[in-house]
């Protein structure tokens, strides 16, 4: 469910026509629906209610502190992957007692920062990191609460760049050696292994990997407890898929059915790290058509949103639904299924102004005829959109607007040219 709907040939976000937002704030523009965001958080909370989970919203998915504040206000903790994300989560008003910190390359400074803040769990990804974490915590007179991140070695689930639990990836501890690693820190001061963590990949459109991962998790938790580790937390990560093309996503309930048996079997506190599921369909990216051109028999729509605003198509060959914001008479309503034949359309490439042939938002996409000045909406852009944006080609980063009901507010202003050089100007004496 989302709150981006067409009424009388106009795209609305909740009660606000998005064309008004583009006129007021310019393009490219990210527009978020608060109702959609909170609906998806609630869907997970409800599906897993039996386990009363700690839901750690994944900051890397969309780190805007105003969205983070909504997460915190509605009971979420935060999953952070860097010191910068920890700072963001704190700025958003998060409670560090509900923070988890993942990542294969935590620096000593980042570890100290997280220890000072008293976070709930470090998700530890290697033996070397585990020992370093213990040393640093011990030197600070603290005991670091750690969850071992296991790579459960499951069959491929998603794009090779986003699959994090097949053999040979950089993430987590191999399932074959994890017990040996855990054995090595029994009674070691500075560290307490209190959890098991896995994050399988993203986006995942089947519950099977979670079922398989959770089953392996139960066995590992039993073995870790046998070694003497007081395992209290099972963290099943994030990765729940969303609708990008049509209605392909599973409801949160399906993932709950796969995961909850492991909680019943172990009595652990469940932790989840969803990002995309919460914010993905709560955001769109608006671009305005600049030029149309034909080249080598291909039709190009050149508009002002580009790979630096949304890199997923370039990076992962991702599919985002795209449709005019104000479709003229004769243009069909946006289809339910973007892979089906769509009448009154022809194949076009939607590209941006960046000087790279990899700069595209859609290739060979069935779209109606548009003209200069028209607005295009790129749907499901709330996750890994703004978060992965850059200043490449010295493009200023887009603005972000949050809509609730018939009101809206700017939650990140468009950058300025001064912003682009500010860190360099700061170095001129
Ligand atoms: C990226 C990431 C997540 C969030 O993944 P989503 O697909 O956005 O839910 C959760 N946990 C870890 C460790 C991650 O790296």
* CATH code assigned at 52: 3.20.20.10
Confidence of residue 388 (pLDDT cuts 50, 70, 90): very high
The residues annotated with a catalytic role in the active site are 355
Same domain, 24 and 46: no
- Ligand 1: which atom is nearest the Cα of residue 383? 8
Q: 308-365: per-residue pLDDT in tens? A: 999 999 999 999 999 999 998 888 778 888 878 888 899 999 999 999 999 999 999 9
Q: Does residue 177 lie in a domain region?
A: yes
For residue 300, count other CB atoms closer than 10 A to its CB: 15
Of all residues in the chain, what percent are helix, strand and coil, respectively (each to 5)?
A: 30, 25, 40
Q: Does residue 183 lie in a domain region?
A: yes
Same domain, 247 and 368: no
Same domain, 413 and 389: yes
Q: 25-67: per-residue pLDDT in tens? A: 999 999 999 999 999 999 999 999 999 999 999 999 999 999 9
Q: Does residue 429 lie in a domain region?
A: no
- Ligand 1: which atom is nearest the Cα of residue 61? 8
pLDDT of 299 > 80? The answer is: yes
Max Cα separation, the chain? 73
Domain boundary among 279, 313, 340: 279
- Ligand 1: which atom is nearest the Cα of residue 201? 7
- Domain residue limits at 217: 34-279
Q: What is the CATH number of the domain that holds 302?
A: 2.40.37.10
Same domain, 160 and 97: yes
Same domain, 374 and 238: no
Q: 106-123: per-residue pLDDT in tens? A: 999 999 999 999 999 999
Q: 214-230: per-residue pLDDT in tens? A: 999 999 999 999 999 99
Q: How far apart are CA 70 and CA 382, in angstroms?
A: 15
User: Are 158 and 203 a contacting pair, CB within 8 Å?
Assistant: yes
Q: Which of 103, 273, 318, 384 to mutate to test the pocket of ligand 1 (most atoms within 8 A of CB)?
A: 273
Domain boundary among 254, 279, 304: 279
Same domain, 256 and 333: no
Q: What are phi and psi of 9, to 5 degrees?
A: 60, 35
Q: How far apart are CA 238 and CA 57, in angstroms?
A: 9
Residue partners of 180: CB distance under 8 A and separation at least 6: none
Q: Does residue 414 lie in a domain region?
A: yes
Q: Does residue 205 lie in a domain region?
A: yes
Q: How far apart are CA 387 and CA 202, in angstroms?
A: 16
Same domain, 207 and 300: no
Same domain, 377 and 316: yes
Confidence of residue 418 (pLDDT cuts 50, 70, 90): very high
Lowest-confidence pick of 297-306, 324-333, 417-426: 324-333
User: Are 414 and 398 a contacting pair, CB within 8 Å?
Assistant: yes
From the CA of 304, how far away is ligand 1's center (Å)?
Answer: 29
Q: Does residue 228 lie in a domain region?
A: yes
For residue 407, count other CB atoms closer than 10 A to its CB: 11
From the CA of 400, how far away is ligand 1's center (Å)?
Answer: 22
Q: 257-268: per-residue pLDDT in tens? A: 999 999 999 999
Same domain, 285 and 275: no
Residue partners of 347: CB distance under 8 A and separation at least 6: 299, 364, 365, 366
Total domains, the chain? 2
Find the mean pLDDT for residues 204-210.
96
From the CA of 397, how far away is ligand 1's center (Å)?
Answer: 23
In the prediction, which pLDDT does 429 show?
A: 65
Among protein residues, the one whose CA lies closest to atom 3 of ligand 1: 238
Q: Does residue 143 lie in a domain region?
A: yes
Same domain, 15 and 25: yes
Same domain, 175 and 65: yes
Q: How far apart are CA 159 and CA 202, in angstroms?
A: 8
For residue 247, count other CB atoms closer than 10 A to its CB: 7
In the prediction, which pLDDT does 331 show?
A: 80
Name the residue with higher pLDDT: 128 or 2: 128
Domain boundary among 250, 279, 308: 279
Q: How far apart are CA 41 and CA 237, in angstroms?
A: 15
Residue partners of 228: CB distance under 8 A and separation at least 6: 186
Strands (E), 73-174: 77-80, 99-101, 121-124, 144-151, 173-174
Between helix 83-91 and helix 108-117 the angle, nearest 10°, is: 30
From the CA of 63, how far away is ligand 1's center (Å)?
Answer: 13
Q: How far apart are CA 296 and CA 298, in angstroms?
A: 5
Same domain, 256 and 354: no
* Helix or strand run (H / E) with residue 406: none
- Ligand 1: which atom is nearest the Cα of residue 241? 7
From the CA of 158, how far away is ligand 1's center (Å)?
Answer: 13
Q: Which of 44, 48, 57, 58 to mutate to test the pocket of ligand 1 (most atoms within 8 A of CB)?
A: 58
- Ligand 1: which atom is nearest the Cα of residue 60? 1
pLDDT of 239 > 90? The answer is: yes
User: Are 204 and 240 a contacting pair, CB within 8 Å?
Assistant: yes
For residue 116, count other CB atoms closer than 10 A to its CB: 11
Binding pocket residue ranges, ligand 1, CB within 6 Å: 58, 60-61, 79, 102, 199, 202-203, 237-240, 273-277, 383
Q: Which of 57, 76, 102 to mutate to test the pocket of ligand 1 (most atoms within 8 A of CB)?
A: 102
Lowest-confidence pick of 95-99, 159-163, 174-178, 235-239: 159-163
From the CA of 41, how far away is ligand 1's center (Å)?
Answer: 15
Q: What are phi and psi of 5, to 5 degrees?
A: -135, 150
């Amino acid at each position: 469910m989302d709150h981006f709907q067409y009424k009388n040939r106009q795209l609305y976000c909740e009660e606000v026509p998005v064309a008004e937002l583009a006129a007021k704030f310019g393009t490219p523009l990210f527009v978020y629906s608060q109702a959609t965001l909170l609906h998806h958080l609630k869907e997970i909370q409800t599906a897993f209610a039996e386990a009363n989970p700690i839901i750690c919203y994944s900051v890397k998915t969309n780190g805007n502190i105003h969205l983070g504040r909504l997460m915190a206000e509605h009971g979420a903790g935060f999953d952070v992957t860097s010191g910068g994300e920890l700072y963001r989560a704190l700025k958003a008003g998060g409670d560090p007692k509900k923070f988890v910190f993942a990542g294969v390359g935590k620096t000593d400074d980042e570890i100290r920062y997280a220890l000072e803040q008293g976070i709930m769990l470090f998700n530890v990804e290697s033996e070397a990191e585990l020992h370093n974490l213990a040393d640093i915590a011990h030197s600070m007179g603290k005991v670091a609460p750690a969850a071992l991140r296991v790579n459960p070695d499951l069959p491929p689930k998603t794009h090779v760049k986003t699959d994090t639990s097949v053999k040979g990836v950089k993430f987590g501890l191999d399932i074959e050696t994890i017990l040996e690693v855990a054995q090595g820190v029994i009674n070691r001061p500075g560290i307490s292994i209190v959890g098991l963590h896995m994050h399988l990949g993203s986006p995942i459109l089947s519950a099977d990997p979670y079922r398989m991962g959770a089953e392996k998790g139960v066995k590992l938790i039993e073995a870790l407890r046998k070694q003497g580790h007081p395992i209290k937390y099972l963290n099943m990560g994030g990765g729940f898929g969303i609708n990008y093309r049509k209605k392909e996503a599973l409801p949160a309930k399906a993932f709950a059915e796969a995961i909850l048996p492991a909680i019943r079997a172990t009595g652990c506190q469940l932790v989840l790290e969803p990002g995309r599921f919460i914010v993905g369909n709560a955001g769109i990216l608006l671009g305005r058509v600049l030029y149309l051109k034909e080249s080598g028999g291909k039709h190009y729509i050149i508009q002002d949103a580009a790979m630096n605003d949304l890199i997923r198509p370039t990076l992962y060959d991702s599919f985002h639904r795209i449709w005019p914001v104000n479709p003229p008479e004769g243009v069909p309503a946006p289809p339910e299924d973007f892979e089906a034949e769509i009448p009154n359309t022809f194949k076009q490439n939607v590209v941006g102004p960046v000087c790279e042939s990899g700069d595209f938002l859609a290739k060979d996409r069935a779209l109606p005829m548009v003209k200069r000045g028209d607005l295009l909406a790129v749907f499901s852009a709330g996750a890994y959109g703004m978060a992965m944006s850059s200043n490449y080609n010295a493009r200023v980063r887009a603005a972000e607007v949050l809509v609730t009901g018939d009101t809206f507010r700017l939650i990140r202003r468009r950058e300025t040219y001064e912003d682009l050089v500010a860190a360099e100007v700061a170095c001129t004496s």
